[in-house]
């Protein structure tokens, strides 16, 4: 017999059950969608990329936003899949740009096949995403397209960032575009497709943006706090994140020179040769208080996310949105 929980009496358990059931439904729909594309020559690559057991946060937020304003889950599921396909496409292209070897503990698509295959697979997923969103009306279709464009702008800014020419303000502008844009669009479109009022749509849009910013900050911190001998991906690829920016700003000219030299070594050397350099740089970053500072910024944006939905009607779905902000703090 399926276990059920009342949100009023068991909020965490009810949220976990909702999360598990919704994610399972998303996985099933993704499998059905991928199966329908079996005649395509790129089907093996699409299957490999899409069915990789990700967190599925963006489609989950589409569905949850729709349900929190009284919308129907089945009606918005194609839109939810559109956001997951768009997100997957960006991951494929990011791995090429960063020259990463792995994604979710498996070979990156461009390593398993080729760069050409990876580019075309990502392009195909963008096309399918637009196709799925097109059934939801012009406003939603335009929002999906513009969020993808905004994401590209953020990625281009990320590539151009350098440690001595990047401010905290510029960093937050970049992650609003690169990381938070799809989260914001997911909650906005979900609320709109679910029949939300203008104020409800705006509230959920703000929730998505702040949740997305916190999610990226959490990712930045986790990369540097990881245990063992794994090389932090951001340091290896030369990504300029908030902890690095804060640590650099808090250091004197000699320490800054050393940090720049360490970062250059990490981006140009094999992991086996740069392990100690990475550990030393992470220790320097931590000693400046940059990781704790970044954790505080995570809390700030999660608080803003919760505040933004305070005016929504009191339903279990509003409760699940709040539980999502709590879960992000322990998400790996």
> Cβ distance 136 to 78 under 8 Å?
yes
Position 5 in a domain: no
Instruction: Give the range among 5-19, 130-144, 208-222, 282-296 with minimum mean pLDDT.
Output: 5-19
CB atoms within 10 A of CB 295: 16
Burial class of residue 3, CB neighbours in 10 A (0-12, 13-18, 19+): exposed
Position 126 in a domain: yes
The tens digit of pLDDT for each residue in 77-95 reads: 999 999 999 999 999 999 9
Instruction: Give the range among 127-141, 225-239, 285-299 with minimum mean pLDDT.
Output: 225-239
Specify the number of domains making up the chain.
Answer: 1
**CATH for 117:** 1.10.600.10
Q: Does residue 9 register a pLDDT over 60?
A: no
Interatomic CA distance for residues 310 and 283, integer angstroms: 39
Beta bridge partners of 103: 106
Position 4 in a domain: no
Range of the domain at 316: 11-328
Q: Does residue 127 register a pLDDT over 50?
A: yes
Position 2 in a domain: no
Kindly state the average pLDDT of the residues 21-45: 96
> Cβ distance 265 to 274 under 8 Å?
yes
Beta bridge partners of 102: 107
Question: Rounded to two decimals, what is the model's pTM?
Answer: 0.94
Nearest to 124 by CA among 134, 116, 112, 135: 116
Interatomic CA distance for residues 332 and 329, integer angstroms: 9
CB atoms within 10 A of CB 177: 20
Residue 294 phi, psi (nearest 5): -65, -35
Kindly state the average pLDDT of the residues 175-202: 96
Averaged pLDDT of the chain: 91
Question: Confidence class of residue 164 from pLDDT cuts 50, 70 and 90?
Answer: confident
At residue 4, the pLDDT reads 63
SS (H, E, C) the chain: CCCCCCCCCCHHHHHHHHHHHHHHHHHHHHHHHHHCCCCCCCHHHHHHHHCCCCCCHHHHHHHHHHHHCCCCHHHHHHHHHHHHHHHHHHHHHHHHHHCCCEECCEECHHHHCCHHHHHHHHHHHHHHHHHHHHHHCHHHHHHHHHHHHHHHHHHHHHHHCCHHHCCHHHHHHHHHHHCHHHHHHHHHHHHHHCCCCHHHHHHHHHHHHHHHHHHHHHHHHHHHHCCCCCCCHHHHHCCCCHHHHHHHHCCCHHHHHHHHHHHHHHHHCCHHHHHHHHHHHHHHHHHCCHHHHHHHHHHHHHHHHHHHCCCCCCCHHHHHHHHHHHHHCCCC
Position 29 in a domain: yes
Position 65 in a domain: yes
Greatest pairwise CA separation for the chain in angstroms: 65
At residue 274, the pLDDT reads 74
Kindly state the average pLDDT of the residues 40-46: 97
At residue 1, the pLDDT reads 34
The tens digit of pLDDT for each residue in 228-249 reads: 656 788 888 888 899 999 999 9
At residue 234, the pLDDT reads 85
Question: Confidence class of residue 269 from pLDDT cuts 50, 70 and 90?
Answer: low
At residue 184, the pLDDT reads 97
Instruction: Give the range among 26-30, 56-60, 253-257, 274-278 with minimum mean pLDDT.
Output: 274-278
Kindly state the average pLDDT of the residues 180-205: 97
Position 6 in a domain: no
Interatomic CA distance for residues 73 and 75, integer angstroms: 5
Nearby residues of 297 by Cβ (< 8 Å), 6 or more positions away: 214, 217, 242
Q: Does residue 273 register a pLDDT over 70?
A: no
């Amino acid at each position: 017999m399926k276990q059920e929980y009342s949100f009023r009496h068991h909020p965490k358990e009810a949220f976990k059950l909702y999360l598990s059931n919704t994610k399972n439904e998303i996985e099933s729909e993704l499998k059905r969608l991928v199966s329908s594309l079996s005649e395509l020559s790129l089907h093996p690559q699409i299957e490999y990329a899409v069915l990789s057991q990700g967190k599925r946060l963006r489609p989950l937020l589409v569905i949850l936003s729709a349900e929190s304003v009284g919308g129907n889950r089945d009606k918005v599921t194609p839109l939810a899949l559109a956001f997951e396909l768009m997100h997957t496409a960006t991951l494929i292209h990011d791995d090429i740009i960063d020259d990463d070897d792995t994604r979710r503990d498996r070979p990156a698509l461009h390593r398993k096949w080729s760069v050409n295959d990876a580019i075309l697979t990502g392009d195909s997923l963008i096309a399918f995403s637009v196709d799925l969103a097109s059934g939801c009306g012009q406003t939603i279709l335009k929002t999906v397209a513009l969020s993808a464009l905004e994401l590209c702008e953020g990625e281009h800014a990320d590539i151009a960032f350098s440690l001595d020419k990047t401010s905290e303000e510029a960093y937050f502008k970049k992650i609003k575009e690169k990381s938070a844009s799809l989260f914001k669009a997911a909650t906005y479109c979900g609320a709109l497709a679910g029949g939300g009022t203008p104020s409800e749509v705006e509230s959920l849009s703000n929730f998505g943006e702040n949740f997305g910013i916190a999610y990226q900050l959490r990712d930045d911190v986790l990369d540097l706090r990881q245990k063992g001998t794994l090389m932090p991906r951001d340091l290896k690829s030369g990504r300029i994140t908030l902890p690095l920016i804060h640590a650099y700003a808090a250091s004197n000219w000699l320490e800054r020179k050393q940090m720049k030299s360490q970062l250059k070594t990490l981006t140009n050397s094999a992991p086996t040769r740069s392990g100690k350099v990475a550990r030393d740089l992470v220790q320097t970053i931590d000693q400046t208080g940059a990781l704790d500072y970044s954790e505080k910024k995570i809390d700030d944006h999660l608080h803003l996310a919760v505040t933004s939905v305070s005016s929504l009607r009191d339903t279990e779905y509003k409760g699940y949105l709040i539980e999502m902000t709590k879960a992000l703090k322990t998400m790996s």
